[in-house]
């Protein structure tokens, strides 16, 4: 049942009755009606149909108003739907952010716990750091300049002046005044093992030095000062570049 059909059909019947009545009235002017009360009957029927039509039209108008209200409600429902979708999207974003934050916080807590288990006294770490840096192994001394013979590793001189070096300086009863094993310590080396350092070039003076003068290896013969300085410069350059790299 829809209203449209009754309204339309009632209207059609009404229109037909109107037409019929008018034709009847027109005919009645010119000739007698076959049935005397026919026009009255048609008129009564017309009145009845008109009344029905009016009622149906009132209902149709009311339905039109309701239809408008329904359209507004539908628009409002659509707007609410979009609001809900927006809220849902925001909630999802918040959930994602929170999940990430919680995960990172848990990881941090794990790291904290791990660090706590392997905790070391800060004093020990500072002492150790001090010990490492005391020998200038990690950084050149503040007053170090190119030419400074100091190195962050034991130099050849320091090695020679140590126990190992002194152990080699035994009594000179060997061939030519030197034992074969003393060739290195004495500074006299075969041609194959030509000394690389300037203080070993004057092997005679080096070999004759008593052990306690080994620490004077820093004092080169006057004739070789320049060569020594060049070598030290070269080493300094290398060392400084390496130390700067270590920085």
- Residues forming contacts to other proteins in the complex (CB under 8 A) are 1-4, 7-8, 11, 14-15, 18, 21-22, 25-26, 29, 46-47, 50, 53-54, 57-70, 73-74, 76-77, 80-81, 83-84, 87, 91
How far apart are CB 107 and other proteins at their closest, in Å?
A: 19
**If you ran DSSP here, which 8-state letter would residue 151 be given?**
-
Could you tell me if 172 and 179 are in contact, meaning their C-beta atoms sit under 8 angstroms apart? yes
Residue whose CB is less far from other proteins, 85 or 244: 85
Residue whose CB is less far from other proteins, 11 or 144: 11
Residue whose CB is less far from other proteins, 21 or 235: 21
Could you tell me if 32 and 47 are in contact, meaning their C-beta atoms sit under 8 angstroms apart? no
Residue whose CB is less far from other proteins, 87 or 129: 87
Angle (CA) 37-44-60 rounded to 5° is 160
How far apart are CB 112 and other proteins at their closest, in Å?
A: 16
How far apart are CB 82 and other proteins at their closest, in Å?
A: 11
Cα 226 from chain centre: 57
How far apart are CB 80 and other proteins at their closest, in Å?
A: 4
DSSP string across 109-175 = HHHHHHHHHT---HHHHHHHHHHHHHTTSSS--TT--TT----SS--HHHHHTSHHHHHH-----SG
For residues 240 and 146, give the distance between their C-alpha atoms in angstroms, rounded to a whole number. Answer: 8
How far apart are CB 127 and other proteins at their closest, in Å?
A: 34
204 closest CA partner among 157, 172, 166: 172
How far apart are CB 3 and other proteins at their closest, in Å?
A: 4
DSSP string across 165-222 = HHHH-----SGGGS-GGGHHHHT---GGG---SGGGTSHHHHHHS-GGGGGGGGS--G
For residues 61 and 74, give the distance between their C-alpha atoms in angstroms, rounded to a whole number. Answer: 20
How far apart are CB 51 and other proteins at their closest, in Å?
A: 8
Q: How many residues does the chain have?
A: 247
Residue whose CB is less far from other proteins, 50 or 158: 50
Residue whose CB is less far from other proteins, 80 or 212: 80
Residue whose CB is less far from other proteins, 94 or 129: 94
């Amino acid at each position: 049942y829809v209203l449209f059909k009754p309204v339309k059909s009632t209207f059609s019947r009404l229109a037909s009755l109107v037409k019929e009545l008018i034709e009847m009235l027109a005919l009645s002017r010119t000739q007698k009606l076959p049935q005397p009360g026919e026009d009255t009957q048609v008129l009564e029927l017309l009145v009845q149909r008109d009344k029905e039509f009016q009622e149906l039209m009132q209902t149709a108008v009311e339905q039109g108003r309701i239809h408008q209200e329904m359209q507004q409600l539908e628009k409002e429902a659509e707007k609410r739907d979009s609001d809900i979708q927006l809220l849902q999207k925001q909630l999802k974003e918040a959930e994602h952010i929170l999940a990430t934050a919680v995960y990172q916080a848990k990881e941090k807590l794990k790291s904290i716990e791990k660090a706590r288990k392997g905790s070391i006294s800060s004093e020990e770490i500072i002492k150790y750091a001090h010990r490492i840096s005391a020998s200038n192994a990690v950084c050149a001394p503040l007053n170090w300049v190119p030419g400074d013979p100091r190195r962050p590793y034991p130099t050849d001189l320091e090695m020679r002046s140590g126990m190992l070096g002194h152990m080699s300086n035994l009594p000179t009863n060997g061939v030519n005044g030197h034992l074969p094993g003393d060739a290195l310590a004495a500074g006299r080396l075969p041609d194959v093992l030509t000394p690389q350092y300037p203080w070993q070039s004057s092997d005679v003076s080096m070999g004759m030095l008593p052990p306690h003068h080994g620490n004077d290896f820093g004092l080169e013969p006057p004739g070789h000062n320049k060569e020594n300085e060049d070598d030290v410069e070269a080493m300094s350059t290398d060392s400084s570049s390496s130390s700067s790299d270590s920085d």
